[in-house]
Structure 1
Amino acid sequence: MLRSLIKTASALALSAGVLSAPALAEDHAEDHKSEGTGPALWQLSDDDTTIYLFGTIHILPEGETWYDDRISSAFDASEELVFEVDMDDMESAGVEMAARAALPEGQTLRSLMNEEDLAQYEAALQGIGIPAEALDPVEPWVATITLGMVPLLQAGYQPDQGVEMVLRERGEDKTRTALETMDEQISLFDTLLMDAQLAMLDATVEGIDDVVTSIETMKAEWLGGDAEELGALMNDELDNPELYQRLLLDRNRNWVDWIETRLEQPGTVFIAVGAGHLAGTGSVQDILAERGYSVERVAH
């Protein structure tokens, strides 16, 4: 069972989608004015290169309609499709994640927790039907990902309906590129200090009852095209400075470096990354603007 949980988690969460989906504050759950119908799409260009930026949700229920004419036109015009990681290599990702997930021999995940956190953790596991001992052999970051995933799977969200998986199937004839390696994505979590990992797990446990409501609200913002509100939902509660720097800012800067290099070559490129990276302070667009690039939203 443990290996199955790790494999499922690796297929979905290496790009931090679930870790960027904390329980929603009440003010974020209120009605809002949408900027348009359909997910936001951006574009930057020079004389011979066009790059589209599309924010994704990594896991969706079956039957969601989001692939509209704007997205289709940009996607069809692109010769190169770029994801956060190699979407063709999920099997090896699960193997590598499992290999790096283990705690030292003689140590268990529950032994690392204080009495209060342990009681909440065991109650959360019971609530989603996972035996208390199931995740004992793994580091806290793996348990965090698993606890973020299972409620979504139980609610009917499906890995193969995530935006990247759909685009991957539609883009079989395109050159495919990854912004990060699997090792880099796993290292985002595996190299966190243990205290930070335990804090991340505790926050996930405390918000586990709201996971489905949270992503439903984010999905509504995403489908409605309200990128700023979506960015607030995804990133505002990422208030740990180390996690904010590691999971968002550093990666966004690295991706902008990649974009700058890619602009030196002709062609049309479609970049699909988690929507939280394309909204709010420190977004990819913010960093591009700081470096003198003009990024325009593609109109509905």
Structure 2
Amino acid sequence: MHRHFVLVLSLLFSCFLSQAHADASADANAKNTALKTPAVHSQKSTAPQRGVLYRVSHKGNTSYLFGTIHVGQAAFYPLEPQVTRALSAADKLVLEVDIRDTTALQQAAARHSIYPDGQTIDQHISAASLEKLKQALQSASIPFESIVRMKPWLVTNLLIVQAMARAGYPAEQGIELYFLTIAKNEKKTVAQLETADYQLSLFNGLTDKQQEEYLLETLAQLADGSAIKKGLALITAWQHADNPALEAALLELQNEESTSAKFLQHVLLDERNPNMADKIGTLLKTDKKSFVAVGALHLIGDKGVPALLQKQGYKVEKLY
């Protein structure tokens, strides 16, 4: 399992939509429009199981937990009937972050991912790292001037997302937008477990040194192709609901010693999972039926959200 692509799966892709571009709102609208074309209810009987699906119960209330990826392609849709039926039966759709709130996304990006006036990325990384970054940006057809005030963590994530898009898996085909389309059509309430400000603040907690290490690790593996190769393997595991492959990916991550692997494991997963479980527990006490969609790796392992909910006494059933 490749540490950099797992980051894309674990981070809500909205972080990248607000990459200090003034047209973030227009992008979001275009992305929503792009996902209005799938026939969300004309389900194919042969639609395969994808991702991870749990049912959690408490005193007559039910919450379905679905593991997503934050990139995708049109061929993923429609999702299999068990998933869309669960969403249709729910009163509320719950995401990591409500990505429709572009104002909150822009404010969070300005606060956590953009240097103050007068500061630029070349002042925070070495000359050697800067040269490698410029080469990568040129290969990706991204002008250096467009990222000069972005912090290294954001530039790194931007390069990952663009690489996955070139490989055929753009963020605008991510599962969250598909679910939001259904929720809009069915006039469902949409809620969030976290905020954009909180998610981006986690990355901003990295020191300059850690951000530079994260950047260099990513550049090296994007250059040799291993990021995309292993990223596609992880997508394949999600496409086929291959839980053993997802669990193996998480185990490999736990055994890595890189800056990005440690950050993903200890901050993006271990720190967030208990909070997610607590929020879902509250949801189970207040809502009759809900549908929660979070990154698939949040649902894997003995520190995953389902395991934490089970330890808290909720009835947890793995559907696939």
TM class by smaller structure: 0.7 to 0.9
Paired position in structure 1 for 2:207: 193
Q: 1:87 aligns with which of 94, 99, 107?
A: 99
**Pick from 152, 161, 178: which aligns with 1:149?**
161
Aligned twin of 1:296: 317
Q: Which of 247, 263, 267 pairs up with 2:284?
A: 263
Secondary structure, aligned partner of 2:64: strand
Letter in 1 for 2:196: M
Q: CA deviation at 1:52?
A: 0.6
After TM superposition, list the pairs within 5 Å mapping 1:54-203 onto structure 2.
Answer: 54-65=66-77, 67-90=79-102, 92-172=104-184, 173-203=187-217
Cα deviations by residue, 1:167-224 (Å, 9 ceiling, x for unpaired) = 0001122111100112111211123222222222222212223443333212210011
CA contact (8 A) 2:58 2:315 kept: no
Secondary structure of the 1:142 match is: helix
Residues 1:92 and 1:264: Cα distance change in structure 2 (over 3 Å): closer
Q: Is the 8 A contact 1:44 1:296 kept in 2?
A: yes
Contact 1:66/1:223 (CA < 8 Å) preserved in 2?
no
Alpha carbons of structure 1 residues 118 and 280: separation in structure 2 relative to 1, 3 Å: farther
Choose from 218, 222, 231 the match for 2:238: 222
Provide the aligned C-alpha RMSD in A. 2.7
User: Larger deviation: 259-268 or 137-146?
Assistant: 259-268
Separation of aligned partners in 2, 1:118 and 1:281:
40
Cα distance in 1, alignment partners of residues 24 and 287 from structure 2: 38
With the length of structure 2 as denominator, give the TM-score of the two structures.
0.76
Q: How many residue pairs align between the two structures?
A: 273
Structure 2 Cα separation of the partners of residues 247 and 6 of structure 1: 28
- In 1, the alpha carbon distance for the partners of 2:170 and 2:192 equals 22
Over residues 73-116 of structure 1, what are the superposed CA-to-partner deviations in whole Å (9 max), with x where a residue is unaligned? 21121111100001321354135414543224444313332344
Structure 1, unaligned stretches of length 5 or more? 12-35
The amino acid of 1:282's aligned partner reads: K
Q: Does 1:275 align with 2:289?
A: no
- What percent identity do the matched residue pairs reach? 30
Equivalent-residue separation in structure 1 for 2:226 and 2:145 (angstroms): 23
Q: Distance in 2 between matches of 1:266 and 1:7?
A: 33
Distance 1:292 1:225, change over 3 A: same
Matched to 1:198, the amino acid is E
- What stretches of structure 2 of length at least 5 have no aligned partner? 1-18, 29-47
Q: Residues of 2 paired with 1:71 and 1:237: CA distance?
A: 28
Matched residues in 2 for 1:217 and 1:84: separation? 24
